[in-house]
Amino acid sequence: MTVNLQLTPDVEAGLAAQAQARGLSLETYLEQVLQERSRSVAPPSLDPDERALAFEAWAHSHPLTPALSDAAVRRENLIRDAS
């Protein structure tokens, strides 16, 4: 498939610089970017309740970190004197 794009000079210059930094022609760079984008699938949109449930499930999937002792959070144990 052939696609023609009309890019503003600023956009073209930015893309050309990115392509050059990778040692690619602008056309090859754009093809690679579009191939990468075509493979990524956007996650389905969740309603607020589903999003909250998904967040809670994610949070519960991580082990609990033990609480720090009072001594561990004392100022003198957190800040070392540089002198």
**pLDDT by residue (tens digit) across 1-21?**
888 989 999 999 999 999 999
Tokens matching residue 15:
């893309």
> 59 in a domain, yes or no?
no
**pLDDT band (50, 70, 90) for residue 23:** very high
Residue whose entry in the numeric block shows the structure tokens 């589903």:
50
Quote the domain boundaries for residue 23: 9-39
> 61 in a domain, yes or no?
no
Does the pLDDT of residue 54 top 80, yes or no?
yes
> 44 in a domain, yes or no?
no
Range 40-69 average pLDDT: 85
pLDDT given at position 44: 74
> 18 in a domain, yes or no?
yes
Residue whose entry in the numeric block shows the structure tokens 């499930």:
57
What is the number of structural domains in the chain? Answer: 1
**Residue 65's CB: how many other CB atoms inside 10 A?**
6
Q: What is the model's pTM?
A: 0.47
Range 58-66 average pLDDT: 85
> 45 in a domain, yes or no?
no
Residues 59/61/66/72 CA torsion (nearest 10 deg): -50
> What is the C-alpha separation between 27 and 16, in angstroms, rounded?
9
Considering the chain, what is the average pLDDT of its residues? Answer: 88
> 4 in a domain, yes or no?
no
> 27 in a domain, yes or no?
yes
Backbone torsions φ then ψ of 9, nearest 5 degrees = -55, -40
> What is the C-alpha separation between 71 and 29, in angstroms, rounded?
55
